[in-house]
Amino acid sequence: MEYYSTHINKLIEQLSHLPGIGAKSAQRLAFHIMNMPKDQVQQLTSSITGARENIRYCKKCFTLTDRDICPICSNPRRDASVIMVVENTRDLAAYEKTGKFEGLYHVLHGAISPMLGIGPDDIKLKELMMRLSQDDIKEVIIATNSSLEGETTAMYISKLIKPSGIKVSRIASGVPVGGDLEYIDEVTLLRALEGRVEL
C-alpha cells in the first residue's frame, strides 16, 4: 500500500538505490529534502548533475577528477618514482589524509574476484603495467584491502611486476590501535607477528 504521493515514492525509491541507504534512511532523506528551501534543493541537484557530467578518470592514475591530470599527479613536489596501488578513490583519499605519503597513486577501480566474475582485465592493471614501462619507477607499494580479493590482487600484481626489477612492497596489516588481542582473529594476529618491526 502506498502512503505517499507518486513523486515522494519515486524519490524514496531512487534514494534507496544509494549504497548504505535502506528504506527507512531513504524515507528520512526524502522528507528532509522536501523540507529544505527550494534554492538548497536546486544547489543539491545541480551539484549532482555537475559532478556526474564533469568528473572523469585522471589520465595517469585513474582517480576521479575534473581535470585531465589530477592535482596529485600534476604536483611537481610528489615523488614520481614511487607508486601506491589502491583499489578505489576512497582508499587514495584515506592515505592522503595521513599527509605522510609523498609519492603518486594508481587506482585499480576494483579487485580480482573470480567469484564475482572480475578478472585482471576488468580493473586498471594493463594501465598500471603500461605506466611502469614508460616511467622511471623505483617502488610499487600495493595497498589493496586485506580481504581475499585484495590479497589475490596483491599477489597477482606482485608476480607481474617482479620480473621488471622494480621493488614491490605490501602495506603491513595487523592489530588496530586500541584493539584488545583476545578479540582479534588468528589471521590478523599472524599478520601482525610477521610484519613486526624492530624498536
Domain ranges of the chain: 79-173+180-193
**How far is residue 3 from each of residues 7, 8, 27, 73, 156, measured CA to CA in Å?**
12, 9, 11, 51, 52
Domain 79-173+180-193 in this protein, CATH class: alpha beta
The 10s digit of each residue's pLDDT in 34-52 is 999 999 999 999 999 999 9
pLDDT attached to residue 178? 72
pLDDT at residue 1 is higher than 60: no
Grade residue 191 by pLDDT with cuts at 50, 70 and 90: confident
Cβ atoms of 158 and 171 within 8 Å: the answer is no
Nine cell digits for residue 97: 589524509
